[in-house]
Chains A and B, each alone.
Chain A
Amino acid sequence: MAMVQLFTGMNISASGLRAMRLKQNLIASNIANAETTRTPDGGPYKRQMALLEADAREIQPRLVIADPSMVGRTTNSRHMAIPSDLFLVQKDGVGSGVQVQRIAEDQSPPRLVFDPSHPDANAEGYVAYPNVNVVQEMVDLISTTRAYEANTTAMGSAKAMLTKALELV
C-alpha cells in the first residue's frame, strides 16, 4: 500500500499519457478515414472521439472527525469559538488521474457531395462522406500533443522528486 501511494504521482501522469495517446490514435484514425465511404457497419465512417472522465477513486477527502461530540459549544458570548473544521484531521485525497470512459461516435449527419458517378451515390446522386473535419482534427491533434508533453513533464518531476528523496541520509 505504501509503495502504491509512493508512486501515485507517476501513475496519475501515466493515466494522462495513456488517455492522450488514445485520443491521438483516434485523431489519426479520423484523418486516415476522412474520405472512407464504406465501413463494416454500412454507410460512411463516423468521427470517433474519446470521452474523458476524471478518475474519482480517491477524490473524496478522507474526513476523520476525531469526535463529533467534541465540537465546542458557546453558551456565553465570552466563550472562545472552536470551529468544527478543527477536527478534520485528514483531507488529502487528490484523485487518480484521468480515464477514457468510452469511445463515442459523432452522430452528426454525413457530408453530402453530389457525384452521381460514384458507386456509393444514392438515388439522388449524392455520396455520403464521413462527418470528419480535417482542420478540426489537426487543431485537436495540437492540443492533444501539448497535453501529452505536459504529462511527460509532470512525470519527470515526480521521478526527480522520488530520486531526490533517495539522497536522504
Chain B
Amino acid sequence: MRLFSVRGGVHLDYRKDRTRNLGIVPLPMPALLYLPLTQHVGAAAEPVVVAGQVVRKGEVLATAQGAVSAPVHAPTSGRIKEITGHVSPHPSGLSQSTIVLESDGADAWGALPAGIEDPFAATGQEIARRVAEAGVVGLGGAAFPAAVKLNLRAGHTVDTLLINGAECEPYLTCDDRVMREYAGEVVDGARIMAHALGAARIVIAVEKNKPEAIKAIANAARPFATMAVAEVPVRYPMGSAHHLVKVITGRETPAHGRTASVGVLVHNVGTARAIHHAVRFGRPLISRVVTVSGGALKSGHNIEVPLGTLVRELIDFCGGMVAHADQVISGGPMMGHPLPSLEAPVVKGTCGILALTADETNVQPTGPCIRCGSCVEACPSGLVPLQLATLIQHEDIDGAAKLGVEDCISCGSCSYICPSHIPLMHYFDYANGRLRVLDRKRKHQEKLKTLAEARRQRLERQAAARAAAKAKSARPAAPPTASAQAQTQTQAQAQSKPVGNSAAAASVTGAPVTGLPVTTATETGAGP
C-alpha cells in the first residue's frame, strides 16, 4: 500500500516489551465499582437508579443527555450503594458525581436488547442507535461518543473508514493485544461501521513494531476485498487522527476541521471491538482493556477491567509498587495526565495506568533555550515552538495565537526532544486555556449585545405602537357625531395616561426615540 509522508514527529523509547507478549487477563470482580456520570466528552449522564436498588449486569444506570453524551451501564450485578461525589481521574482531583455499585458476586446478566442478526441489512441510523444505547465511546483515550461520529454521514461523504491501531504511545500495548487476540471482532466491528457510514474502503493502520498484530488483522481481513492493512512507520505521533489520515490517504485535514471533511473517519481498534459487541449481541460497554505498566510496579499486565474499578485495585493486581513512583499516569506518558489519587476509578477513556519511576520520567531542571531547532523539526503541526514559548513567557497570548498556538495538538514531541527540558507543551496548554477563557468572554459579550439590541428594538416597537394608537385616536377620519368624538378622545387620554412618557409624546412630534436604548446599553455594560 502506498503511504504518504507527514512532517515532524520523534522516535521514542517505546518500552512496550514488558507487556506486549502478555495475554489479556480478566480482573477478579472488585467488591465496589465507582461509575462517574461523565466518562465521555459531552453532557453528563442522568442517573435512573436510586440508592439501594438492585441491578443486573448490563442494566442502564444513567441515560445520555442531549446530542453529545453516553449512557452508563452496570458492569456487574449488585446493589446501588449510593450516588455520591468521588475523586475523578482528572489532575484537578475534583469530586465528581459517581454511582457506587456493590457487587453481589453473582455477575448475572440482565435482559439485553437482542443483537442485530444481519447488521449489513440494517440502516445506518439503526446501527448508530445501537451504538449510542450501548454507551460506546472512543476507546483510544478521547472518549468521544462513537455514535455521534457514525451519524456524521448526514453532513459528509465518507469514503474511507480508518481503524487506528497505531498505538504510538510508549508502554501501551492494549490495542496490540486486542488486535492479536480479537482480530475477528475488530474486523467485524470495522465492517459494521463502514456499512453504517457507507464507506467503501476500510484501512486498518498498525505501526510496524507490531508484526503479530499486523499478521492477525491481515488474516482476519483477508476474506474482505474492501479491507486493507497498512503498516505505518514507527514514529510518534503516528496515531494522531489528522496525521494518520495524511499518511494513509495523502489528504490533509484543514485547520480547525474534522477528518470527515476530507472523507475519512477514524476509529480506534478497541472501539471497533466494542461496536461489534454492541451491534451483534446488544452488549453495552462495561469493561475495557487497560495496560498497567511502569518501572515502579512489580509486574505489568494487559487487563480486561470492569469500568469503575479503582486504580488501586489494578496496582494491587500487578503486585503493588516495588519502587517509588514519581508519577502515576492515566494514558500514555506523552499525552496522558497525572492521576490525583489511586482512589480514582477506571473510566471508558482509560487506556493505560502507568506508575513511573524518576528514571523513566527523566524530569530535569529547565535550562536556557539554545535555539537548536529540535522542536521545530519535531513539531507535527509545523509550528515554531521556541518562538511560541518566548511569546507566552511574556504573556503575549495574542501573538502566540497569530503564530498558530491553537494548531498545537498537545502531542508533547517538542517537550520530549528539548535538550534544555523546557516544558514547551505546558506553555501551549496554558496559552490555549487562556484563549478559551477569552473566547468565552467574547461570546458572552456578544450575547449580551444581542440581548440589549433585542430589548432596544422591542421597546422601540412598543413605543411606536403606542404612538400609533394615540395618533389614530387623536385624528379620527370622519366622526359620526360630536359627542362620540369627545368620548373617543377621553378614552384615548385615559389609555395614554399610565404610559404618559416622553417617548409617546416625542414620537408624536417626530423626534427620534433614543432615551431608552441608551439606558439599556449602559445598564448591561455592553454599550459601544
Q: Do A and B come from one complex?
A: no
A residues contacting B by CB (< 8 A) are: none
B residues contacting A by CB (< 8 A) are: none
